[in-house]
Amino acid sequence: MRSIKIGTRNSPLALWQAREVARNLQNNNYKTDITPIVSTGDKNLTEPLYAMGITGVFTKDLDIALLNNEVDIAVHSLKDIPTQLPHNIEIVAVLKRDFPQDVLVRKSTSKNKELHELKIATSSLRRRAFWAKYFPETEFCDIRGNVQTRLQKLEDQDFDATLFSLAAIERMNLAVDYEFLPMMISAPAQGVVAVTARADDHEIKELFEKVNHRETQICIDIERNFLRTLEGGCTAPIGAFAEINDKDEVRFVGRLCSLDGKKCMEIDEIFTWNDQENFGEKLAHIILKDGGRELMQEIKLHLQ
**Catalytic residue list:** 80
Count Cβ atoms within 10 A of the Cβ of residue 146 and give its class: 0-12 exposed, 13-18 middle, 19 or more buried: middle
Which residue in 49, 94, 72, 132 sits closest to 210, CA to CA? Answer: 94
Which is it for the CA torsion 180, 186, 189, 194, positive or negative?
Answer: negative
Classified as helix, coil or strand, 129 is helix
Contacts of 104 (CB under 8 A, 6+ apart): 115, 161, 162, 163, 178, 179, 181
Helix 279-287 with 214-231: angle, nearest 10 deg: 30
Residues paired with residue 193 on neighbouring β-strands, in sequence order: 77
| Beta strand extents in the chain (DSSP E only) | 3-8, 31-36, 73-77, 89-94, 102-106, 120-121, 140-141, 161-165, 179-180, 193-198, 238-244, 249-257, 264-272
Q: β-strands 120-121, 140-141: how paired?
A: parallel
Spatial contact of 175 and 143, defined as CB atoms under 8 Å apart: no
